[in-house]
Amino acid sequence: MLKSLKNEDLIPNYIYYGTWKEKDYLVMELLGAEDISKLRNRMRNLSVNSMPLTAAAYLTRKMLDCIKRLHKNGYVHRDIKPSNFVRRSKSSTSICIVDFGIAKLVS
């Protein structure tokens, strides 16, 4: 799935897939920041038990963009939750969707 979506910037970059000692492995881009669930919890601790509305709206829009791109390419994720959206790096505002373990191609 990652290989077929390699031109999408909202998906981690596929690098390589292979087998070693009868075990399959996948090499993909290392995302260097926290997932949205951890970010939400951290922001809650900094303010009065809630994430600022502007931050929540921005993140929601970014997450919906990720889902929209998957759907546009014929995939359904089937495991949507905050912990499956990760910032590319600590200083980045770009978000990627991850964990395609139960995703399905529906053409």
pLDDT at 47: 65
Number of domains in the chain: 1
Residues 8-27: tens digit of each pLDDT: 888 888 899 999 999 999 99
Identity of the amino acid at 5: L
The parent domain of residue 82 ranges over 14-105
Rg (CA), the chain: 15
Q: Is there a domain that residue 95 lies in?
A: yes
Q: Is there a domain that residue 6 lies in?
A: no
d(CA 101, CA 60): 22
d(CA 15, CA 27): 5
In this structure, what CATH number is given to the domain that contains residue 69? 1.10.510.10
Regions of the chain where pLDDT drops below 50? none
Neighbours of 38 (CB within 10 A): 14
Q: Is there a domain that residue 93 lies in?
A: yes
Q: Is there a domain that residue 4 lies in?
A: no
Q: Is there a domain that residue 89 lies in?
A: yes
pLDDT at 9: 84
| CA triple 29-31-33, angle to 5 deg | 175
